[in-house]
A and B are shown apart, each in its own frame.
Chain A
Amino acid sequence: MTARRGQVRVVEAVLAVFMVVAVVLLLMQFTKPLRSVYIRETSDLRRLGYNFLNSMAENNVYEKVLGNLIYEASKRFSSIGRCPEGWEENRLNDLAFFASTVLPQGLLFRVDVYTVQYDLAGGRAVLCPLGYAANFDVGKVSMTEAEPITYTYVCTGDPDRVRGSVLLVHLTIGYSG
């Protein structure tokens, strides 16, 4: 009788060990460390993005590349009191070419540019889209590791007619696949 009890204890111990090991292994599957790739790449992308937008601002690139559009949007807003329609779908090819030339290869980017117009009668600020620049088909390709950056800029360089215009730039920069 005593010997049989001993055997049962051994079997119990084996089962207990199996259960403990199984639970530990199961938990280990669920508690994998966060994908550090995700953390590291986006942190650098954020710095690169600000660095890129700031570098364009320092060299008055916004005025040179978007000067005519900024002027046209401001003129229309002044005359009709609202933003030109459908401009959010404008492809800013000049800006896209510029960004492709400057940014490192292998990165995807999308830059949405707005002018900030002031409706003095209504006492409000209105964002008028000028369009977007991208180096990929935004309808088909999606970014997996990306960082959004918002940047505000007051035009200070030539052409003179856009001096003082306020721009809001949304940059999304990341990797595909």
Chain B
Amino acid sequence: METVLEYLAVALLLVVIILAAHQMLSAPAATLDTVRQEQLYTVAERVLDKIVLTPGFPEDWGTNIAVTADNLQDFGLALAGSREPYRVDPDKVMRLANLSTLPNPLLLNASRLAQLLGLEGYGYRLRIVPMLRVIITPIGYYTYGNYRYASTFRVRVENIQGLGVPNANVTGMYVIVRVRPGAGDATVEAKNVSTARALTDALGECVLDFTPSLQQYFSSPRNRPNKWYFTFLIVHVEWRGFASVAGYATNAYGNAPAEGYIIGNYVFVNRAVDPISIKKGNKRSGAVLVKDELLQAVPEYQELLNFTSVVWCRDSTGNFRDDDPLCNNAGKVLPSAKQWYLIGYIRYVEPLASHVFVFAQFRGNPIAIVVNRIPSIDISSERGAVPANAVRLTRMCTVYNYPFLVELTVWREVEGFP
């Protein structure tokens, strides 16, 4: 009987020890969620610091077309050589942009970016957006001869959450470049800049009307319908010291491809666009750089425009030109881009020009192509993912002198959606 009791007691002892061991092992699981989330925060902070505070390697990977997604060794968006923190290089941001109308020939895609940032196994979303977003909508048109120009615009200024910003100072600069068509070279005859100012209302909107300016301009006998007119609009917004800028191709009628990329000195536009050769005086001139940095300081708006020449890498038969060393260079680095884009080499790119307007032709009509050098970026490893457990961090950065927000959201792939 005593032996039976002893066996029972030992069995009970074993059960208690097993239960205690189980309890001890499972107890830390209660705090595991917090620990895991802390890891996500650590990862997100580390990655965001790397993105906005390091320049990557090679340091000039934004402008160097020889650096592609495959041979980029280290990723970082900081402006190389800058002494100020949170100063982002716009040329590097351009490598992340992918316009819906035209794919980026040197795109750094989401999966390669994840690889470079060590984010494999995590889902992420990276947004780089201006602190003040400017949306330009044409609401009125002016017709002259065969041409139709957007002349009245609704400008909406909103923050990152989409809330309208009231009492923002909006300055619109409507530029018309008159060109005399020629058999070989067309010639720039004159440029005209009209300006309009307005304050945004309680909803963050205002209207800029250039119709009277256009009427006055085209009523002059010098401005005849047999000329070419390249027109574009630059909108500068200032609110409590924060500024933003946007460009708009006012003659982008129909489905004219009015956007492009600048990588280094190379401009990439849709292959449906035809290059034109334009001279200004004795100099070749194919593009306008807008020095909008000075918009507030320089009252003479004409001085904000710099003409520069473009060497187009397409011959008269429509084939890629290998005879020019500049074109040949791009052709070697980007063999596929030769067929899918019209490539040009801009002789001089103003470092502080946020927009470049390139003169070209589309189906026989002159168009100004807007190249925004500070595009908004929204890239995600998984489209439309709504992760259950994510960490989102935000930093305020400067691109040129414009405030931008860099927002990184990180989650675990196992916790997110496919």
Contact = CB atoms under 8 A, between A and B. Distances in A.
Interface of A: 3-4, 6-7, 10-11, 13-14, 17-18, 21, 24-25, 28, 32-33, 35-37, 39-41, 43-44, 47-48, 51-52, 54-56, 58-61, 63-65, 94, 98, 101-102, 104-105, 157
Contacts of A59: 241-243, 403
Interface in B1-35: 2, 5-6, 9-10, 12-13, 16-17, 20, 23-24, 27-28, 30-31, 34-35
18 contacts: A14-B13, A18-B16, A21-B16, A25-B24, A33-B28, A36-B37, A40-B38, A44-B41, A48-B393, A48-B394, A55-B398, A55-B403, A61-B240, A61-B242, A102-B242, A104-B394, A104-B407, A157-B241
A65 B34 contact: no
Contact of A52 (B5, B28, B241, B396): B396
A61 B27 CA distance: 51
The 3 closest A-B pairs by CB, nearest first: A36-B38, A55-B396, A40-B41
B131 interface: yes
A44 B45 contact: yes
Given A48-B395, A101-B159, A14 B12 contact: yes
B86 interface: yes
A17 B20 CA distance: 10
B392 interface: yes
A37 B24 CA distance: 23
Nearest to B10: A10
Nearest to A3: B2
Contacts of B161: 105
Interface of B: 2, 5-6, 9-10, 12-13, 16-17, 20, 23-24, 27-28, 30-31, 34-35, 37-38, 41-42, 45, 84, 86, 131, 159, 161, 163, 165, 240-243, 392-396, 398, 403, 407
Contacts of A56: 241
B9 A14 contact: yes
Contact of B165 (A18, A32, A101): A101
Contacts of A64: 240-241
Given A36-B35, A55-B403, A98 B240 contact: yes
Contact of B2 (A7, A33, A47): A7
B279 to A, nearest CB: 41
Given A33-B31, A94-B240, 11 more contacts: A6-B6, A7-B2, A17-B20, A25-B27, A32-B31, A44-B45, A59-B403, A64-B240, A65-B241, A101-B165, A102-B396
Contacts of A4: 2
Nearest to A6: B6
A94 B303 CA distance: 35
Contacts of B394: 48, 104
Given A51-B86, A102-B131, A39 B13 contact: no
Contacts of B16: 14, 17-18, 21
B13 A13 contact: yes
Nearest to B165: A101
A58 B398 contact: yes
Given A52-B396, A63-B241, A102-B131, A33 B45 contact: no
Looking at B24, B161, B392, B394, the one whose CB has the most chain A CB atoms below 10 A away is B394
